[in-house]
Copies of this chain bind each other. A is one copy, B any other.
Amino acid sequence: MTQARMITPLFVDLAKVEHHHQLACQSCALYRLCLPLGLHRDDLSKLDQIIKRSAGYKRHQILFEPSSSFKTIYIVRSGSFKTTISAADGREQVTSFYFPGEFIGMDAIYQQRYLSTARALEASSVCELPYERLQDFSSKIPELQNQLMTRLSKELSSDKNLLLSLGKKTAQEKLISFLLSMSQRFSERGYSATSFQLTMSRGDIANHLGLAIETVSRLFTQLQEQQLLTIQGKEVAILDLSALKQRCG
């Protein structure tokens, strides 16, 4: 989500205000995608007071890991993150990518312990929601409670769709599904649905989809040969969105 790729006004102000850590939700460019949506004006300003705007995270910097104590749910403010879960022997699975307005760390509510490790994919920043205070608030503000449940349920839905990909789809279908999901998320954020910059490496994509790096690389080449997209480095241009939709299973 680099500044260079912005094509609509939604994020125009983000660069300017990036350093104003205590910017109120009401004037945040993410308002339409974020938690406060649907909250009353005065509820929102109360919520505002418990939210801490963090300093930035650098590429590869850890936001939390299983050894961190769970106190906070994070919302991406700018940039992007990945979460990974580890097997006993160190094998890792990239479970999700997160973009502005999305919540990270909700799987820690059960067990009060982060299940996964979250790392920045690029220079990024987050808002921190102290979970205990969020609980207090949401018992007073039904709409907030509703938002939290909806977000949890949304993550559940996307994990279940990924299960379908991992369990039943071919390598090509997996990669196309992934690209379409990226396309949709960029477009929801006011960027082009057909031309965007991936923030994760080929290795991250391959791992996330249960494939080898080489397979991902070959598939990109193949999709280019079929004139469905172009890709150079991290820059993707989708040439035939509907053809891709037909091939994703």
CB-defined contacts of A148 to chain B, threshold 8 Å: 149
Q: Are A87 and B169 touching (Cβ within 8 A)?
A: yes
Q: Which of B152, B155, B157 is close to A115, meaning CB atoms less than 8 Å apart?
A: B157
Asked if A166 CB lies within 8 Å of chain B CBs, one says: yes
Q: Are B164 and A109 touching (Cβ within 8 A)?
A: no
Q: Are B156 and A87 touching (Cβ within 8 A)?
A: no
Q: Interface range on chain A: under 10, 10 to 19, 20 to 34, or 35 or more?
A: 35 or more
- In the complex, residue of chain B having the shortest beta-carbon distance to the beta carbon of A96: B160
A200 to chain B, nearest CB (A): 15
A60 to chain B, nearest CB (A): 21
Asked if A108 CB lies within 8 Å of chain B CBs, one says: yes
How many angstroms from the CA of A67 to the CA of B149 in the assembled complex?
Answer: 22
How many angstroms from the CA of A166 to the CA of B208 in the assembled complex?
Answer: 11
Q: Are B154 and A87 touching (Cβ within 8 A)?
A: no
A34 to chain B, nearest CB (A): 15
User: Measuring CB to CB, which residues of chain A are less than 8 angstroms from any residue of chain B?
Assistant: 85-89, 91-93, 95, 106-111, 115-116, 135, 138-139, 142, 145-146, 148-157, 159-164, 166-169, 207-210, 249
